[in-house]
Structure 1
Amino acid sequence: MSWQIQLQGPINTGYTADLYVLDLFDTPQNVIDDLHASGRRVICYFSAGTFENWREDKSRFTAADKGRRLGNWPGERWLDTRSVNVRAIMSDRIALAASKGCDGVDPDNVDAYSNRTGFPLTYNSQLDYNRFLFDTAHDHGLAVSLKNDLEQVEDLVDHADFAVNESCHQWQECHLLTPFIEAGKPVLHIDYLYGADPQGHNIHCQHMDSLGFRSLTLPLALDDSYRFSCF
């Protein structure tokens, strides 16, 4: 399976990719419809673990839902994923994806328990939240990814339909994703290191191919300013 992910900028649908990962809120309906008409599938991205102050449903989050700021990402705060209100909002986002005709969803920031969020989140509370996301997506007939969250792969591989990972090669963690390959489920990988290093990119692609991963080298902004595919 070939794939493409773009979350910012005018969407380029000119790649010969079987699957596109696009922003749930910002992607025009006609883009989704046109991709379907050409036989491609669309996965809709949203952040399931953070508040983003530019989203159309931002007013639904309460002050109690919002925790610490998220690193170098302006306008984002960690969410209390135990919150009934947060879960209701995410359920509505998944329903929105279904209503727009998305074939699946890519919920991001689902590893809050391993970060400084301002909330007493735990390994088990994260498992509970992620399974809630996966079950809700499946209830709407959507495929769903496990995004990063490598420490919980063994517990979640049976619940997710595929994995999307950023930079496991950089941290020497790619072996943690092999349960997806063993289960016959795709691993879609993003590299941010080799955009200006063709030789390094070739070596990287050999490594990804040996693992059975589908890897793209992309800009951190995911804005289609460049794209190098391993396949």
Structure 2
Amino acid sequence: MKDALLVLSGGMDSVTLLYDRAADIALAVSFDYGSNHNDKEIPFARMHCEKLGIPHITIPLKFMHDYFTSSLLSGADAIPEGTYADENMKSTVVPFRNGIMLSVAAGLAESRDLKRVMMANHFGDHAIYPDCREEFVKNMSAAISAGTYANITIDAPYTNISKADIARKGKALGLDYSETWSCYKGGKIHCGKCATCLERKAALAEAGINDTTEYEA
């Protein structure tokens, strides 16, 4: 019985989870919070849901763009280049983004008589994004459970595995990762130089996947 709602961005990780746990997912939800790359990600999220026959909705959270501070909300030129190990990548943190999205998703799940909210955070996210860490997931799940009649919980199965591990799952599932979006700059094609592009390249290479993503020269 399908009892889960998936927070689906349209990136590698959440699209993999969509296919990995399709038998459990009753609804997928994307959030348009005004990031540089929302317009690139969300169409992929919608397309994959259509392929699988899973209902998909997009919820606007534009107030985050209007009131929060992050280079992810400030245009392509604001996105630093380099790896996630670089100090300047902290500028891409959108304050409490996952907390806000999971709260909305929990309310939506309870409204649809669902029991779980799924998210595709992974181990590589932990160092830079506080709302991707295991401690956050555990405590947020407890708060959502306590705050809902249905005792809804967060299901985050990729929390302690790497992006390359996720890519390996996708490879086994036959996924075409060119039908996902990663680049934080949100240009016509992936820039190939921001941290999320570099992470994407490394994960696909480690998983032995031929990377057919189109990158800037």
TM-score normalised by the chain length of structure 2: 0.38
Could you say which structure has the larger radius of gyration? 1
Greater share of helix: 2
Greater share of strand: 1
TM-score normalised by the chain length of structure 1: 0.37
